[in-house]
Structure 1
Amino acid sequence: MVIYAEYLFLENGVAGLMILLLTRRICGFPSSWPRLVLGSVLCGLYAFILFWEGLTWWLATLFKLIFSAAVVLLVFPSLRGKGILRALLVFYLVSFAMGGIVIASLYFFNSTGITARGAFYIGQITYIRVFLGMALAWGCIYAFSCFIRARLRKDRTEAKLRVTLGSRTVTMEGFVDTGNFLRDPISGRPVCVTTEKVIEKLEPEEAQFCIVPYRGVGKEGGLLAGIRPDSAALITPDSKPRPVNIILAVSKGELPVGHDGKQYDVLLHEALTEGGILQGE
């Protein structure tokens, strides 16, 4: 079987990009597009080493582990300690899942292929087959991650919001409002709604103010005064504080009371709980 270098590079480069994107989505770790593209290029180049006959099995395995760790550190430079291990584990799990889906699709379409050094190469390759195979694997894993995140989101109904403005810091009891879709029209930041009583505990005279338009169900719209805090962090019982970039809108009235009679200080935007499946664990 003749293996064309450009097809080999394209297959593994596209596959590497999708694996890195899914790893970022599942873990919730930040990464820029230039780093993702660079990581996918390295994955494409790595494919040529798989067919190097001089590598022993243990040396090939060691090289795979080192290469995977290097790509993860390159694409997610902010990770430390356990974060690196999580990202590496998810990177491998997504790789295995995508490989299984591709092999299953080959069996379904009666396609041929060869294996070498732990790699599976598809014969009679075309761009259409590359696109369909990658799209199928991407769709399956993406849909599964969406399902898991949706189930987790249902359990995240309460969280604390720690806000710093000037020299003062206030920790608020927050409720995740799934009907809150407010965003700052200029910056696109999610908007959390609090009361004047809470704002008075900060230093509003030092804040940057903005206007947030809103529209309620069955009600006329209006404008809310908002402030941009110096910093904010979301705190949940099972995770470490996570920095969030938000706008605090001020409501003149009291916030709704919870089912158990609990009074909340802030209504959190639903986007704040949409971190990765493993984020903050």
Structure 2
Amino acid sequence: MGMLYGVEYRYVDILWLDNFVMNFSILWITFRISKVKGSLWRLWISAGIGALYAIIFFIPGFEVLHSFFLKIALSLIMLLVAFKFNTFKDFFKAFTFFYATTFVFGGVALGLHFFTQDYIAIEKGVFVIKDYPVNKLIVTGVLVIILMHAMWRFIRLHLSKDELLYKVKIYFDGKEVMVDALLDTGNMLLDPISKHPVMVVEFSRVKELLPQEIREIFTRSLEGDFHTVVQVISKSGWIERFRIIPYTTVGNPSGLLMGFKPDEVLVLKNGKWYTVGNVVVGIYNDKLSRNEHYQALVHPEIVA
């Protein structure tokens, strides 16, 4: 951006690139946090559309683009291009995160401007950045991701538990059980070998699926005895299906959870059953809920 005989001018390519990077960053953060289906090429196209709008925005004679309703319409077009919505709930979630990320991004960018004294300004609702400080955009993006993750976790932790409950069907060796599972936002448990997410289920709900020799481990409360578990699994005909999963909790820094790889797992979302691949079922020999409101804890990746 510069001045010529008192007239301000802007380099179109820099203006487009600035806004393209900003739009893509916001869309990518929305994609990562909302878990709504999308793809990188759709995000690229959507960001390009938004950046093109920023250029036309400054062309004399296009003042109609300054309208609040046209700005909302543009954001809707960008979301429809960037994401694939199966339900209105998905659209509403992406829309909410898109604007939340935009406002947080703007706040962080202006905060960096205040501390670094770089030229970062907003003119008519469009970011104008002098000399394209890529390092500042990277720092801004990282801070926004951290803030948005913290905000989303806070929101989820304070939602009604009824909104976090899912019906889950587990199939193993021709048998089936159905459990009520609570979305546990703090459950980051992964199978150490396959790195697949682990869904923790009460033994009482899956015991009918298990071979007799595995079932006896839990009825005799030997699931914490590493040597016994390894010995029984090694002699079982299901050795390739069972796992030993280490975990850490307060008061138990070296716990072990026995688990198995089911034939199939289905999750009921928005009235439809969805098949979930690459899941390990961890067996918990106790109650997960005092009032038996749920019998399983589901990993966030499973219902994403």
TM-score, L = length of structure 2: 0.65
Tell me the residue number matched to 1:131.
135
Q: Matches of 2:255 and 2:94 in 1, distance apart? A: 46
Tell me the residue number matched to 1:183.
191
Tell me the residue number matched to 1:38.
45
Q: Deviations over 1:24-64 (max 9, x none)?
A: 24433222222222222323333211112111346654443
1:53 aligned counterpart, secondary structure: coil
| Residue 24 (structure 2) aligned to one of 4, 10, 17 | 17
**Which stretches in structure 1 are left out of the alignment for 5+ residues?**
276-281
Tell me the residue number matched to 2:144.
141
Kindly provide the amino acid, as one letter, of the partner of residue 169 in structure 2. Answer: V
Kindly provide the amino acid, as one letter, of the partner of residue 245 in structure 2. Answer: Y
Tell me the residue number matched to 1:260.
290
Q: Deviations over 1:81-133 (max 9, x none)?
A: 3543443343233223322332343344334467654324233x14xx2331x
**Correspondences of 1:270-281 after superposition (within 5 Å):** 270-272=299-301
Deviation at 1:183, TM superposition (A): 2.8
| Residue 231 (structure 1) aligned to one of 245, 266, 271 | 266
Q: Is 2:151 the counterpart of 1:121?
A: no
- Distance of aligned partners of 1:180 and 1:56 in 2 relative to their CA distance in 1, 3 Å threshold: closer
- Distance of aligned partners of 1:14 and 1:232 in 2 relative to their CA distance in 1, 3 Å threshold: same
Q: Matches of 2:255 and 2:101 in 1, distance apart? A: 47
Tell me the residue number matched to 2:169.
163
| Residue 249 (structure 1) aligned to one of 246, 270, 281 | 281
Contact 1:51 1:117 in 2 (8 A): no
Deviation at 1:256, TM superposition (A): 1.5
Q: Matches of 2:281 and 2:92 in 1, distance apart? A: 38
Kindly provide the amino acid, as one letter, of the partner of residue 24 in structure 2. Answer: L
Q: Deviations over 1:168-220 (max 9, x none)?
A: 8643144649577233844x43222446764476799xxxx834342366779
Q: Is 2:85 the counterpart of 1:78?
A: yes
Tell me the residue number matched to 1:279.
none
Deviation at 1:79, TM superposition (A): 4.5
**Correspondences of 1:53-92 after superposition (within 5 Å):** 53-57=60-64, 60-92=67-99
Q: Is 2:245 the counterpart of 1:210?
A: no
TM-score, L = length of structure 1: 0.69
Contact 2:108 2:140 in 1 (8 A): yes
Query: Does 1 or 2 have the higher relative contact order (CA < 8 Å, sep 6+)?
Result: 1
Deviation at 1:149, TM superposition (A): 3.4
Contact 1:255 1:264 in 2 (8 A): no
Deviation at 1:222, TM superposition (A): 8.8
Deviation at 1:16, TM superposition (A): 0.7
The structure number with the bigger radius of gyration is 2
**Which stretches in structure 2 are left out of the alignment for 5+ residues?**
3-8, 212-239
Q: Deviations over 1:227-272 (max 9, x none)?
A: 13152237xxxx8788554535374xx6212473749643x24435
Kindly provide the amino acid, as one letter, of the partner of residue 256 in structure 1. Answer: D
Deviation at 1:147, TM superposition (A): 1.9
Q: Matches of 2:104 and 2:202 in 1, distance apart? A: 47
Contact 1:193 1:250 in 2 (8 A): yes
RMSD: 4.1
Deviation at 1:164, TM superposition (A): 5.8
Q: Deviations over 1:145-174 (max 9, x none)?
A: 222233345558884442164998643144
Contact 1:39 1:74 in 2 (8 A): yes
* Identity across matched positions, percent: 18
1:10 aligned counterpart, secondary structure: helix
The number of residues matched between the two structures is: 259
